[in-house]
Amino acid sequence: MHLLYLAANLTVLLATTWCITIPEKRTSVCNGHAELCDRSYGNIIYVGAHDSFAYSTDPLALARDQEIDIPSQLALGNDNDGVLHFCHTSCLLFDGGTVEAYLTTVKTFLDANPNEVLTLIFTNPEGQSLPGQWEPAFSNSGIKDLAYVPPHLPMKQSDWPTLREMIDSGKRVVVFLDAGANGIDGGVVDFILPEFDMVWETP
């Protein structure tokens, strides 16, 4: 009797368990980013390591293409931290570090040299957002507090203050950007000025 009852309970338990819906396993992170999971393979850019097998730490290995081994290359992946970097040609070829780190170094120089007026000219080939990417780097580094904001744009040669006036006011950094800087008239970031409205370069 007890054995039959146990068997009946076991059958019910098994039947109940069998009816539970097993959730479909769904990947939530793909190649390090959740937003890539529903994107087609053909709509994703992959970082490559040219001749990944040709690695050596020997400086005399003149034909080497990599200085780190294959597992390390794979582990590096594409470490895009969402922070603006200064890169020459490509970040894969030369990554000069974050804009904020660069500006922090500049701020150290300016603090040590209070009678210097500095001009910074940056390129923005990817059209990065001024308030979203550029402005935080200036704020966090402290350069924003030193940045000169002109009363109007464009500024003619005779409109600019003297160096003494800029130094005495504490606004002794002028920032130009080659693309995407709408200036105070556009209400984007008032201290990042459109370069080619006021700067001329020799051919």
Domain stops at, among 79, 109, 141:
79
How many whole angstroms separate alpha carbon 8 and alpha carbon 6? Answer: 5
Does 7 fall in a domain? no
Point out the catalytic residue in the list 2, 33, 50, 152: 50
Beta strand segments in the chain, E: 85-87, 95-98, 118-122, 173-177, 192-194
Domain residues for the domain of 62 are 28-79
Does 193 fall in a domain? yes
Q: Tokens 């350069």 sit at which residue?
A: 143
Point out the catalytic residue in the list 2, 33, 85, 88: 88
Number of domains in the chain: 2
- Do residues 104 and 143 both lie within one domain? yes
- Do residues 52 and 70 both lie within one domain? yes
Is 85 known to be catalytic? no
pLDDT (0 to 100) of residue 5: 41
Mind giving me the DSSP string for 165-203? HHHHHT--EEEEESSS--HHHHTS-TTEEEGGGT-----
- Do residues 63 and 91 both lie within one domain? no
Query: Mind listing the pLDDT tens digit for each residue in 6-29?
Result: 334 434 444 444 445 555 667 787
Does 17 fall in a domain? no
- Do residues 91 and 46 both lie within one domain? no
Query: Mind listing the pLDDT tens digit for each residue in 140-194?
Result: 999 999 999 999 989 888 899 999 999 999 999 999 998 888 644 444 788 999 8
Is 88 known to be catalytic? yes
Domain stops at, among 60, 79, 98:
79
